[in-house]
Every structure is written in C-alpha cells, then in structure tokens.
Amino acid sequence: MSTRDAAIIGIADSEVGRLPGVTTLDLTARVASAAVADAGLDLGDVDGLITTVPLVGAFPRHAVAVAEYLGIPEQLRHCASVSLGGASALAGLLDAVRLVRTGTCRSVMVLAADTPRSGQDRSASVSAFSGMRHPAWEQPFGMLNVSAYALLAQAYLHRFGLEVEALASMPVAMREHAAGNPRASYREPLSTSDVAASRLVSSPLHLLECSPISDGAGAVIVGQPGSGSSTGKHIGLLGGSQGYVYDHVAYAGDLSRTGCSLSSRRALDAAAVGVDDVDVALLYDSYSITLALELEEIGICPPGGAPEFVASGGISLGGRMPTNTHGGLLSHAHCGGAAGIHHITESVRQLSGQAANQVTGATVALLHAEGGILSANCTAVLAR
C-alpha cells in the first residue's frame, strides 16, 4: 500500500447558539459545502466521509445517511461514524489523516453537526445525558453527567486542599477569549465572583462552570498538501493518539488520573515535541474541572497548579500557553454530539494566521478532546 502525506486543506463552521427551524442535516449540508469550497474542491472530489453522532437527528447508519443526503454515497471509499462523545471529531480527524496517508482516499471530510439547543427540550437533553451513565451502578442512583464531573472536582479539591472557588478562574479565562471572538455565544464580561455566585448545580460545580448546550456544526477536509486551491490552509498532523483508563466513573477506582495522561504522552512522543514546543492549546472544557485536569495531566502546569496557573494569566493570549482562544465550550459553544469540532477549526485558523484572537507566530498546536467523563481521550499535535 502506498503512503503519502496528508494535511487539513479546508474548514468551515456554522453559526452557533439557538438556531430554530434548522435541522441537524441542514447544518451538515451548510458546513459540508463551505468546507469543500474552502479547500478549493467540490463535493464530487470527496471519497471519504467521517461523521460524529448527534444527539438530535441521528440515523442508525449515520454517516451513510449523511452521504445520501449530500448526494455522494456511490463515490465514497470510506464512510463511517465515530461514537466517542466529545472525542469523536478529533478521533475522526486522526482516522482521516490515516486514510489519506495510506492512499485509501484522496479527500476525506470530517463532519460534526447537532441541534440539541433548539431540536429538543431541556428534559430530553437531561434524559439523553443521564442515559449515558452506567445502567446498574450510576443511573439508579441519579447520576448525571454533571454529578459525575462533580465527583472528579470534589476529589481534586480535596486532594490538593483547595477551596470550592478554586476552579472559578477557568470559565473566566474562556470568557475573556470569547469577548474577542465575534463567533462566540457568550461574550459579556465574567468575574470569579460571578462564577461563585451562580447557582450550584452539583457541588462543587456552579452553573457558570458548566458549558451551555448549543446548536452548531463544523467540517474539516483532509487531503494531500497542494491539492485543491485553498486559501493557505495546509496544516499537518505531527502525531496523535488515544488513551483510556475507564469508561464509567463508577469503575474508575482512582480519580487522580484519567486517560488524558496516556493519550497526551503518546501524541507528544509520536510528534517528537515537548509541551514547551507548543504555541497554542485547544483543550476540551466541558466543565471547569475538565480543563484543570487536562492542563495538569498534559504537563502544562504541575498537579494541583491549574487554578493558580490560569488565574495568573497562564492560558491568556499573552500567557505561557494560550488556550481555547475562541472561548472554548464554556463560552463559544458546546454543540452536543458535535462538541470538539470547533477546537479543531480554531487550531487551523491559529496556525493559518486567521484567528480572531491570533497568537503571534503560532506554528504548533496541541489539541485534546474527551468523551464521557474523561473516559475516551484523544490528543493531536498539528503544525504548519
């Protein structure tokens, strides 16, 4: 089997927020058309399709149904959906690169779209997330996603002797970045006092430490460098990997470590770079505790040091590791089953010099995404 290089050559995002009257398939078609145009291609050039699985509007063979809707099923050499929760889009990107590098496909589209904000009511969203918990050891006791993350947060604060407000700096930093991003859903100023004063959802997590659900979509085109006639988006993958320690928190045992430590070490080793070589990070921030744990397990700051690191400007635009420069899930958007796709598109904009909050001279980006309760972990290092 022949091998060749592969690069991200096109991207697209939809609007985010509440998008009434728009279906998940509508958003899929919009970003698919925009992404191939950005790559200087058309839909007829795509011979690989990878989709994430939405909370609203999913099909049993989702990727095939999307291909059918786009009118491209017969030309596809590879068509599959990834179902790893928030890690799906990034895991799909790694698969897309492999497909192009091995010569299996010429151009692969990674598509992620969902409409949980307008496509279902609040009770349906709560039911969907509660259904993701273990049927024997979590659901009967009322565990929701937020209460599972709250267990991680309680253990973290206890382990390092931190106050309950210690994690409040995480959403504040994300809001600072969102303020400079016209695409973000929430851009108004936010303080740590605001976070601490917001409603307690599941102790110790307050409302503003939880990412709000949104409608939205994104797409990425992977092809050979130089293919198409894109506007300078030729971003390569230096290394990527996945990592797993548990699936359900009830089986975690030790809450001091997740699969993030495994996937990030493997990805950095594969890329032959260290954390100090990274210019910008795009890390999954479904909750404040998620971002804190990732910063520490990746090695960006020491164990227990994330709150101080963030509060002192460590992840700000002028800090040591600018992180989630678009506002992240906490302020830009958490688009249900499509969550994580906008971390990818933001990294491509950063490395192409086209971001709203541009990190000067950014050439290497580290991405981490997770699904479940830091259960499925995927890390990638991109570079231009």
When pLDDT is averaged across residues 107-111 and rounded to a whole number, the result is: 98
> Is 32 a domain residue?
yes
Write out the DSSP string of 293-339: HHHHHHTSS-TT-HHHHHHTTTTSTTSSS-B-TT-HHHHT-B-GGGT
pLDDT of res. 130: 81
Burial of 164 (0-12, 13-18, 19+ CB in 10 A): middle
Q: Is 51 exposed, middle or buried (0-12, 13-18, 19+ CB in 10 A)?
A: buried
Number of domains in the chain: 1
Q: Please give the pLDDT value at position 131.
A: 86
Rounded percentage of the chain residues whose pLDDT exceeds 90? 93
Would residue 159 count as lying in a domain? no
Rounded CA separation 62/320 (Å) = 41
Residue 76 inside a domain? The answer is: yes
What CA–CA distances, in Å, run from 69 to 134, 283, 339?
Answer: 34, 32, 22
To the nearest 10 degrees (0 to 180), the angle between helices 341-352 and 88-101 is 60
CB contact at 8 A, 170 and 293 = no
SS3 202: strand
- For tokens 């990034």, the residue is 90
List, for residues 280-304, the tens digit of each pLDDT value: 999 999 999 999 999 999 999 999 9
Question: Which of 238, 167, 219 is CA-nearest to residue 14?
Answer: 219
Task: Decide if 49 is inside a domain.
Answer: yes
Residue 56 lies in a domain: yes
Q: Which two tokens stand for residue 263?
A: 């996937």
Tell me the residue type at 49. L
Look at residue 50 and tell me if it is in a domain: yes
Domain containing residue 94: CATH number: 3.40.47.10
pLDDT tens digits, 305-314: 999 999 999 9
Provide the 3-class DSSP secondary structure of residue 203: coil
Residue 26 lies in a domain: yes
User: Cα-flanking dihedrals φ and ψ of residue 176, to 5°?
Assistant: -60, -40
Look at residue 2 in the predicted model and tell me its pLDDT.
46
Comparing CA positions, the residue from 201, 182, 197, 206 lying closest to residue 331 is 182
Structure tokens at 98: 């492999």
pLDDT at 126 over 90: no
Check pLDDT > 70 for residue 3: no
pLDDT value at residue 38: 97
User: Percentage of the chain with pLDDT > 70?
Assistant: 98
Strands 48-52 vs 78-82: parallel, antiparallel or unpaired: parallel
pLDDT in tens, 128-175: 878 899 999 999 999 999 999 999 999 999 999 999 999 999 999 999
Q: Quote the CA–CA distance of 56 and 179 in Å, as a whole number.
A: 29
CB within 8 Å of 163: residues ≥ 6 apart? 157
Instruction: Work out the average pLDDT over 217-227.
Output: 93
Domain, as residue range, for 68? 7-119+214-223
| Helix residue ranges, H only, 224-316 | 260-271, 288-298, 306-311
**Bond preceding residue 135 cis, omega within 30 of 0:** no
Q: Is the pLDDT of residue 23 over 50?
A: yes
pLDDT in the model for residue 140: 93
The reply to whether 94 falls in a domain is yes
pLDDT value of position 1: 34
> Residue 69, SS3?
helix
User: Higher model confidence: residue 378 or residue 253?
Assistant: 378
| pLDDT at 119 > cutoff 70 | yes
